[in-house]
């Protein structure tokens, strides 16, 4: 239990470093930036208590916020998907799965996991960009930023998941 939490912590720090040091500086075509720190919340294993999931989400968001200067935005968005993740995982995981199922392509099935990621990531992006552009009157720009960012994040997350869990 402690070891798996530690592993999770290292993984979270690594993702946050990548987010803060590399991805926050990348703006494809001048729009948006990939947001992949939500992967920390997406991959929380089944059986994580809902309160623990919420704390993971909020903590991750808070760190991302401090480094990106977006106080409250990431923490609100990640807390929200951390609230959704456990019940969604229950619904989307295969019936006969083990108790502490860790979401991945191999444990949930390719198509199921892709849907799972895509849905949570979309929620994260919608909340993030809605809060960020609070009084923004360029609605088109928000929509484009969100779209570009969403596509880039999804691509990166799929890649990252393949690197982390290579096919046997």
Partner 1 sequence: MHDFIERITAYVHWALFLLLEVLSGFLLFQYNHYQGSVWFTQANTAAAMVHEWEAKALSYLRMPAENAALVRRNIILQNKLDILRHELALTRADSSSTHNPQEEVLRNMTLIPAQIVDNSVRKRDNMLVINAGSNDGVAPEMGVVSGTGVVGIVSAVTQHHSLVMSILNSHSSISCRLRGTEYFGYLKWKGGKPLRAYMDDVPRHAHIQKGDVIETSGFSSVFPAGIFLGKVAEIKNSSDGLAYELEILLSTDIANLRHVNVISNQNKAEIDSLLTQ
How many residues make contact with partner 1 (CB under 8 A)? 42
Residue 147 tokens read as 């779209």
Could you please report the per-residue DSSP string of 79-119?
A: HHHHHHHHHHHHHHS-TT--TT---SHHHH-HHHHHHHHHH
Q: Which stretch binds partner 1 (CB under 8 A): 2-10, 75-83, 92-100, 155-163?
A: 75-83
Residue 138 tokens read as 């360029």
Q: Could you say which of 1, 3, 10, 30 contacts partner 1 (CB under 8 A)? A: 30
Plot region of 167 (φ>0 → left; ψ -120 to 50 → alpha; else → beta): beta
Q: Could you say which of 3, 69, 96, 111 contacts partner 1 (CB under 8 A)? A: 69
Q: Is 111 in the site for partner 1 (CB under 8 A)?
A: no
Q: Is 145 in the site for partner 1 (CB under 8 A)?
A: yes
Exposed, middle or buried: residue 119 (CB in 10 Å: 0-12, 13-18, 19+)? middle
Q: Could you say which of 8, 11, 47, 83 contacts partner 1 (CB under 8 A)? A: 83
Q: What residue ranges bind partner 1 (CB under 8 A)?
A: 20-21, 24-25, 27, 30-33, 49-51, 54-55, 57-58, 61-62, 65-73, 75-76, 79-80, 83, 131-138, 141, 145
């Amino acid at each position: 239990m402690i070891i798996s939490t530690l592993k999770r912590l290292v993984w979270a720090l690594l993702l946050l470093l990548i987010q803060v040091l590399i991805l926050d500086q990348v703006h494809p075509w001048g729009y948006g930036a990939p947001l992949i720190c939500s992967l920390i919340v997406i991959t929380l294993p089944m059986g994580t208590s809902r309160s623990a999931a919420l704390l993971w989400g909020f903590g991750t968001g808070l760190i991302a916020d401090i480094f990106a200067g977006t106080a409250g935005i990431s923490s609100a968005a990640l807390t929200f998907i951390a609230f959704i993740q456990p019940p969604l995982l229950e619904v989307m995981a295969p019936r006969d799965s083990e108790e502490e199922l860790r979401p991945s392509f191999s444990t949930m099935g390719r198509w199921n996991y892709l849907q799972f990621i895509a849905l949570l990531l979309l929620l994260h992006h919608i909340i993030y960009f809605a809060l960020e552009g609070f009084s923004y009157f360029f609605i088109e720009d928000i929509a484009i930023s969100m779209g570009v960012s969403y596509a880039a994040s999804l691509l990166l997350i799929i890649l990252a998941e393949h690197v982390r869990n290579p096919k046997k």
